[in-house]
A = this chain, B = another copy of it.
């Protein structure tokens, strides 16, 4: 299903359409870009062009904001996501060591939000888990 992936990442929508589809103002959409939460392409005439993936991202941002999360928080979420993606991809290159497997397992546990409080660092730092 590489085809679908491609279609969803095609930058074909002007900002006017994105406004209607997301119920966001042009100001908001451009501001989120300024905050590096979305990175639309530009056409030859310097007009922003968005993909369906961009739309999804913007809808998600809108939801996060509605939940009361601020820009910094959202930025953090996406940075984390990108970091994990990159790491996962890197792992696929090299075979996993036992140590890697344990680390991944541990990370999975840690990312179950709310299970562990921020100040419970001892467990977090126990490399022998």
Contact = CB atoms under 8 A, between A and B. Distances in A.
Interface stretch (A10-18, A24-32, A102-110): A10-18
Interface string A1-41: 00000000000111011001100000000000000000000
Copy count, this protein chain: 2
A70 interface: no
Nearest to A18: B12
A91 interface: no
Interface residues of A, number: 9
Interface of A: 12-14, 16-17, 20-21, 43, 49
A14 B12 CA distance: 9
Contacts of A17: 12-14, 49
A14 B50 CA distance: 12
B13 A13 contact: yes
A93 to B, nearest CB: 35
Contact of A21 (B12, B14, B20, B21): B12
A24 to B, nearest CB: 15
